[in-house]
Structure 1
Amino acid sequence: MSLTSPAGTALPGPPSPAEHPALTALLAVEETGPDRFVAGCTFDEGPHMLYGGQVAAQALAAAGRTVSPDRVPHSLHCAFLRGGTAAEPTEFAVERDRDGRSFSARRVVARQRGRVLFTLSASFHRPEAGRELDVEPAPAVPPATTLPAVELLRLHSMEGRLPPEQLASAEWPTRFWARCTDDLADDPLLHACVLTYLSDLSSGLLALHDGRFATGPSLDHSLWLHRPARLDEWVLVDVVPRVVAGGRGWYSGTVHAADGTLVASLAQEALFRSGPPPTGWTGSDR
């Protein structure tokens, strides 16, 4: 079943299954030198657009390779600087900013052909016991297992379910269930990378399109990982617009596990200008 907008308009389908690398292969990075890595999995995806969630997840994987295994990512902050191509390898340079008693901080620069595409600042924390409290309940939606399957455009090895409660004005779902169809190892870093990959899929700003103004390329993206989450199990993504001003828009969102616990929060800023959304967003008009 192809993914459709809340208004019922069919959205373009993803590449055929034969063109899909496994997500675990797509997010893998190979060490090429001290704190230097390359993501060599490439593929022909339409106009060779490099999906922002992909480079963010790969950068987190590179950063995690330089951190003690007992520390897991709890926050990351990304800046999208240039568009890239999915048909070429991406190189990652990691800087070890700090290793404290409980936290480790890393910075990552992603490049293609020597040009900086993307930067990441990530923090890792040794898990510790403490109070557990969700202030707000999860959105009230039917369980994923009761909903028909949909394809999630641009994503590899991911399946989706679409709750009926959607904003009628949004061309793309802003609330959806998702899970990875790959066999994922019991590795917190891997699941955090898959969550990062998923977190950039939709935009809360889609609900604000009015025929005169529309969202464009992402400028920056932040993700906070509150609790461990298995991404080979269902999670509910919900993104909500917050403000548009100065040619930019900002939205926030949540990721809940199937039992309703909040596992992550996200926020993103993107261009919001007059005219229709660009086709195959590459960041060239920022």
Structure 2
Amino acid sequence: MTSRTPPPAVAETVLGLLALDEVEQDLYCAPPAVEEPFPLYGGQVAAQALYAAGRTVPPGREPHSLHGYFLRGGVAGTPIAFRVSRDRDGRSYSARRVTATQDGEVIFTLSASFVTDEPGATREVQPAPVVPPPEELPEAVLPRLLSIEAKLPQQPDPDVEWPTRFWARCTVDLPDDPLTHACVLTYLSDISSGLFPLHDENNATGASLDHAVWFHRPVRFDGWLLTDLVPKAAGRGRGWYTGTVHAPDGELVASIAQEALFRGRRDIG
């Protein structure tokens, strides 16, 4: 995985990206991510929106799902404002909506749900992909990401333009806070696409349209996690894929689903 080197980041680590300024109650601001007007990475705005929402919920409630819509292309060199709406606080669940704006225009919206931890039956139907542990694999590069290292196992589709299966972990010390770990995983979750195996000489995936993550168990992203993205369908200018995130012991910690543009290569945008 290669890409040209981005300009120096204003936020030097992923924790810097999550250092939102509270302007007033339920309104937060993120400083520019980089010094130049590069396109905004979708995983960044999703992670920041989730973090803004999480700062408004009662103590002891962790993220269990998020659903986001990418409405306009953002700019990495411009501040982002996050307005949180407190839809409901029940006995166990809290619901929040977040609107992200740049220069007065809405670029992203998020619905997120938070829950108190409770005991319950655990069932997993699909086992984790069988791959070598990260310690046995060569290093890889995930461009645009701060504080993330990766290892690349053999790909299910070796000829794809971009990996759909990879180990990753955060390289900075994360606080013992479930919200932060969930946000850093959200930051990673938009870096690739499960639609790459569907590419041909005429058609390819484009910008993300909507994105969802479900957190099945508390996430610890200061250790290795295995992401596996799988194509499901494409048609009418859109493609849809799902993904799983497993811990090294095979436990499923999160699931991903995304729809993105899927068009003729000359029409992507």
TM-score above 0.5, yes or no:
yes
Given that residues 96 and 111 in structure 2 are in contact (C-alpha distance below 8 angstroms), is that contact kept between their aligned partners in structure 1? yes
Q: Where does residue 169 of structure 2 map in the other structure?
A: 179
Q: Distance in 2 between matches of 1:67 and 1:129?
A: 21
Aligned pairs, number: 269
2:45 to 55, 62, 67: 55
1:25 to 10, 16, 27: 16
Q: Deviations along 1:151-189, whole A, 9 cap, x unmatched?
A: 111111100000023412310000000000011011000
Opposite residue 31 of structure 2, the aligned amino acid is G
Q: Where does residue 282 of structure 1 map in the other structure?
A: none
2:234 to 244, 248, 263: 244
Given that residues 9 and 33 in structure 2 are in contact (C-alpha distance below 8 angstroms), is that contact kept between their aligned partners in structure 1? no
Change in 2 beyond 3 A, CA 1:196/1:277:
farther
Change in 2 beyond 3 A, CA 1:19/1:162:
farther
Given that residues 9 and 35 in structure 2 are in contact (C-alpha distance below 8 angstroms), is that contact kept between their aligned partners in structure 1? no
Given that residues 36 and 93 in structure 1 are in contact (C-alpha distance below 8 angstroms), is that contact kept between their aligned partners in structure 2? yes
Q: Where does residue 224 of structure 2 map in the other structure?
A: 234
Shift of 1:19: 7.2
Partner SS state of residue 170, structure 1: coil
The TM-score normalised by the length of structure 2 is 0.96
Q: Where does residue 274 of structure 1 map in the other structure?
A: 264
Q: Distance in 2 between matches of 1:80 and 1:12?
A: 23
Q: Deviations along 1:211-237, whole A, 9 cap, x unmatched?
A: 101101110000000001111100000
Q: CA RMSD in A?
A: 1.6
Given that residues 57 and 193 in structure 1 are in contact (C-alpha distance below 8 angstroms), is that contact kept between their aligned partners in structure 2? yes
Q: Where does residue 36 of structure 1 map in the other structure?
A: 27
Q: Which runs of 5+ in 2 are unaligned?
A: none
Opposite residue 210 of structure 1, the aligned amino acid is D
Q: Where does residue 192 of structure 1 map in the other structure?
A: 182
Identity of matched residues, %: 59
Q: Where does residue 93 of structure 1 map in the other structure?
A: 83
Shift of 1:88: 0.9
Q: Where does residue 105 of structure 1 map in the other structure?
A: 95
Q: Distance in 2 between matches of 1:71 and 1:215?
A: 36
Q: Distance in 2 between matches of 1:107 and 1:36?
A: 12
Opposite residue 35 of structure 1, the aligned amino acid is D
Q: Distance in 1 between matches of 2:93 and 2:235?
A: 35
Q: Which runs of 5+ in 1 are unaligned?
A: 4-10, 279-284
Q: Deviations along 1:62-111, whole A, 9 cap, x unmatched?
A: 00000012000000000000001010110000000000000000000000
The TM-score normalised by the length of structure 1 is 0.90
Shift of 1:41: 4.1
Given that residues 11 and 32 in structure 2 are in contact (C-alpha distance below 8 angstroms), is that contact kept between their aligned partners in structure 1? no
1:222 to 212, 222, 228: 212
- Deviating more after overlay: 88-97 vs 269-278: 269-278
2:124 is the counterpart of 1:134: yes
Given that residues 214 and 276 in structure 1 are in contact (C-alpha distance below 8 angstroms), is that contact kept between their aligned partners in structure 2? no
Partner SS state of residue 117, structure 1: strand
2:157 to 143, 167, 172: 167
Q: Distance in 2 between matches of 1:116 and 1:20?
A: 22
Q: Distance in 2 between matches of 1:73 and 1:262?
A: 16
1:68 to 45, 58, 61: 58
Moved over 2 A (4+): 13-20
